[in-house]
Amino acid sequence: MSHFTHIKTCFQNLFYLEKALDRLGIPSKQEKKITTPSKSYTVNLVIPQSNGYDIKFSSNGQEYELVADMSFWEQPYPIESFIDKISQQYAGEVIISESQKIGFQPIKYEQNNDGSNTLVLERWNNDN
């Protein structure tokens, strides 16, 4: 009998979540559920696992909750570390994209030995 665990996250933007997973090398795919005539439209993000018990990020209208059957967890690190790694990359993606909207460009993005990331942005002032 499966027991799915729903874990709240801070992931509100599907685009940034997909980019974070991609940067971590975690394959994912979108799962779209469309219901008519009330026009309910849901997009979930699925991380396939070889045992068939996929991990899902499911929108609850506010954020993407992680939904998984913990007894079939196949990832190389515990769930807490998994979410922490994704959160760190997600934050980097948000910072880069939102900074670009106001004229900053990323110069350096690297993972440090201690697990932290270094992100350097620059913006040239064209006002003389």
Mean of the pLDDT values across residues 118-122?
Answer: 90
Please report whether residue 36 resides in a domain: yes
Mean of the pLDDT values across residues 20-43?
Answer: 80
Question: What is the number of domains present in the chain?
Answer: 1
Rounded mean pLDDT of the chain?
Answer: 87
Peptide bond into 37 cis (omega under 30): yes
Please report whether residue 78 resides in a domain: yes
Please report whether residue 113 resides in a domain: yes
More confident residue, 42 or 75: 75
Please report whether residue 58 resides in a domain: yes
Which parts of the chain are beta strand (E)? 4-7, 29-35, 40-47, 55-59, 64-69, 105-111, 117-122
With contact defined as beta carbons under 8 Å apart, do 48 and 75 qualify? Answer: no
Mean of the pLDDT values across residues 36-59?
Answer: 83
Look at the pTM and tell me if it is higher than 0.75.
yes
Please report whether residue 128 resides in a domain: no
Please report whether residue 127 resides in a domain: no
**Domain span at residue 48?**
4-122
